[in-house]
Structure 1
């Protein structure tokens, strides 16, 4: 190890007369080793924490599920209160959800943030009267609160960005005031077990099946657009959406003893009926490659089922069965089925016209009007000539029934 005089630097002269040089690179090597050991220790600590979390989760999983189900019952919106809104109607909901989904995708927020923001929106609308011009403002405030609650801090949208997405319809202070008013109305109870939180519990055994996870997200987000699913608990909706996703993708159903097998058959049927008309924004979102093209998969699945339904309802070919001939001796003893004559009756090689009182064409309702005489190619069917005493009575019937036929 060589020693030399201190070198001059921008920090001034060194107080020591001897400065240790690193010509052999020993200090750099030791620093690199310490950094590598620190990274390995951090990685081992993380693995140990995950293993302890798994063991703890297995031990307290039932208690966790019970607490989540209790919390979801405490933070469910009231659909009947939303029904009595004076200006906000249910047909406005899909337009606002399309906007929130686009904003959620643009800021790359977590799936749990979208479900939480919709829950905050519905809970606020069930407790406060919302004007139509402030409906979008409430949705933006709910998205902002949900992003601050559980998403990454570097992805939380700013007020300026939300204002730009709303085309400067609201001022900066309006976003802050609405955010505070939503929190005050909900008594600062933001935590709500969402569909994604219950889905994590249901997909513990299939964590690597990303296509199944994306398909369940697609079905769950589609349910947000419809009123009938607002009152459905997230735990039931998550298991029902997962069951429908497994049917679409051909995945095996879970065992009856698992928590994920407790789906609602009526909810699954309702979700399947709404697959035919999803939102265009939602279809565009889930047609991307990073979400496994699940929207295209659903479209192909529905087309196959439509083709199978058409084949099932098609008229099957008639099979002619050959019956055994009846013996001649038993012809008169066997029951006989009456048959109609094949084809219309023919006289002199032409169709026999129906008999009418005035030898008119069948179905002609223009009584009392001048009739056009058509040349007869064949002699008409002989009809009985009415007597002179019956003529006035016949004319009376024609005059009486003529208005009714014309009408």
Structure 2
């Protein structure tokens, strides 16, 4: 039976007469349904924020309770998963000059896939640990690095950003087959007894930076210094906890941040490590410079370049200062200067404007030359020439000189080796 609205004497009291026989919710005057939906969405958002705040508070309270236990476990694990430098030294085909090229490749791949900072340090740790236990051929060095990066990304990075074998093969210019990546990945895990977890430098940096207010520039500067240390073999035996605190102390000095109290865990740096890191600031990799020149990483490479230029200008002014120009300089020492890493200073010795340069190669026995060192074709020279005896005229002159007042005594300036 068909429905005819004319059969009803009165329209529906709730909705009124409608020719389409349907009710349009958007035509209601009060907008009850829209307001109810907005209220539900708002209440859901407030509930999520409240749950997140409660979770953060519980996590913070739990972290404070178990922070010492977590730190002790991390320091124990870092000693168990450290590479052996002496074992890498005895590699027959792998040489140290190959390391910067491989690290540039890993750094660019890590930056291209937008992986987490700890993934790069974990990949380098896996690479060094594998090279400490297995003989690696030169043609497989890059393959081991790709396998280490793949394992590190699968272990602690985001799933959607883990590189695929096809992408790694493309970055290697199809030098290796697909099954070679899988076999090398399995072989690395078997060699390391499937022990992948390693407390990286960034993990200790996060613990140290939680004690202060959030400072992105200081964090990025610390990342730059720790990644710069990966290129040099002398930093391989340094534990990540010591490297993190030393890099953080050097970053504070460069950015003129205040050093914390030495009683704090984050302030217990190694002065020798800080000094070695500062000496390597002037020799960075070009890939590292390009990476940290971006604004989202605070352009810390540009900041370090300006810092090195200022240091060079200060050193040039000190060298050009007159030797006998004695000036009383009032030194303003900050209150926390004793906490900052400083170079040990010598006593008040007279400065030598031109010292003796150390030769790049140690001379072969007693041979030396004008344009080089260690040349066997050069004539052998005596260590010293005996002073000739004074002549008769010189003795006669010295007889009359005894009645003159004594000449002023001059102190011989030692020639320091630069």
**TM-score normalised to structure 1 length:** 0.73
Aligned position for 2:376:
none
Deviation, 1:319, is: 6.8
Matching residue within 110, 115, 128 for 1:122? 128
Is 2:137 aligned against 1:155?
no
- The Cα RMSD (Å) is 2.5
Measure the CA separation in 1 of the matches of 2:182 and 2:403: 94
After superposition, the Cα gap between the structure-2 partners of 1:28 and 1:272, relative to the gap in structure 1 and judged at 3 Å, is same
After superposition, the Cα gap between the structure-2 partners of 1:120 and 1:207, relative to the gap in structure 1 and judged at 3 Å, is farther
Is 2:279 aligned against 1:241?
no
Residue 133 of structure 2: SS of its match in structure 1? coil
Matches within 5 A, 1:81-96: 81-96=87-102
Matching residue within 22, 25, 32 for 2:25? 22
Deviation, 1:205, is: 3.1
Residue 154 of structure 1: SS of its match in structure 2? helix
Matching residue within 113, 121, 143 for 2:149? 143
Aligned position for 2:405:
336
Measure the CA separation in 2 of the matches of 1:209 and 1:135: 38
After superposition, the Cα gap between the structure-2 partners of 1:335 and 1:246, relative to the gap in structure 1 and judged at 3 Å, is farther
Deviation, 1:197, is: 0.3
TM-superposition CA deviations, 1:127-161 (whole Å, max 9, x none): 11111111111111111111111111111111111
Deviation, 1:318, is: 5.1
Measure the CA separation in 1 of the matches of 2:98 and 2:54: 49
Aligned position for 1:217:
223
TM-superposition CA deviations, 1:337-366 (whole Å, max 9, x none): 469xxxxxxxxxxxxxxxxxxxxxxxxxxx
Residue 193 of structure 1: SS of its match in structure 2? coil
Unaligned runs of 5+ in 1: 8-17, 321-332, 340-407
Matching residue within 123, 132, 145 for 2:138? 132
Is 2:101 aligned against 1:101?
no
Aligned position for 1:384:
none
Measure the CA separation in 2 of the matches of 1:132 and 1:35: 60
Check whether the contact 1:215–1:294 (CA below 8 A) recurs between aligned residues.
yes
Measure the CA separation in 1 of the matches of 2:67 and 2:25: 56
Deviation, 1:40, is: 1.8
**TM-score normalised to structure 2 length:** 0.71
Aligned position for 1:297:
303
Is 2:286 aligned against 1:277?
no
Q: Rg bigger for which structure?
A: 1
Measure the CA separation in 2 of the matches of 1:21 and 1:238: 64
Number of aligned pairs?
A: 317
